[in-house]
């Protein structure tokens, strides 16, 4: 078997694992049912975009977005989903921000890697390399 065959199957597998890991780190289970509040982006300097919002208990909260699809310029309104049981758990609203899109892309790439590996293995078994004559 040529050494490049496993490499072609490993590329989508590696990318799938990276996307899946990002999605799992960013995703907060149950957050799709969290109530929403309006917030505002504030100057952040370095790091992810910083935003501020007021929780129902009247406290101003700040958070950094790990994932964002649009730049958060200071003063731009944002929608924040928060855990009603623990106001310290919150995230920006949106499919990319919830991490779910990364989980879906990760699983698609992993399945693609398995299919590519199965196809390449089938081709190698079906068409073995010519053996040198004894």
pLDDT digits (tens, 9 = 90+) for 92-109: 776 555 677 888 899 999
Q: What is the pLDDT of residue 66?
A: 60
* For residue 131, pLDDT beyond 50: no
Phi, psi of 119 (to 5 degrees): -65, -45
Q: Nearest-5° angle of CA 55, CA 22, CA 102?
A: 90
* For residue 5, pLDDT beyond 50: yes
Cβ–Cβ under 8 Å, residues 97 and 67: yes
Q: What is the pLDDT of residue 107?
A: 92
Estimate to the nearest angstrom the gap between the alpha carbon of 53 and the chain centroid. Answer: 24
**What is the strand order of the sheet 50-54 is part of?**
60-64, 50-54, 36-42, 77-83, 86-92
pLDDT tens readout for residues 30-88: 556 778 888 888 876 666 667 888 888 888 888 776 655 556 677 888 888 887 888 77
Cβ–Cβ under 8 Å, residues 99 and 81: no
Beta bridge partners of 42: 50
Cβ–Cβ under 8 Å, residues 69 and 96: yes
């Amino acid at each position: 078997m040529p050494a490049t065959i496993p490499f072609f199957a490993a590329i989508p597998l590696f990318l799938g694992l990276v996307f899946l890991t990002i999605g799992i780190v960013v995703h907060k289970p149950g957050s799709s049912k969290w109530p929403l509040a309006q917030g505002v982006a504030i100057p952040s300097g370095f790091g992810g975009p910083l935003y501020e919002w007021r929780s129902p208990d009247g406290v101003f909260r700040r958070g950094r977005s790990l994932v964002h699809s649009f730049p958060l310029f200071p003063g731009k309104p944002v929608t924040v989903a928060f855990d009603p049981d623990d106001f310290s758990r919150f995230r920006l609203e949106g499919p990319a921000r919830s991490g779910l899109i990364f989980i879906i892309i990760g699983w698609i790439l992993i399945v693609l890697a398995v299919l590519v590996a199965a196809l390449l293995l089938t081709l190698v078994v079906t068409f073995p390399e010519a053996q040198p004559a004894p």
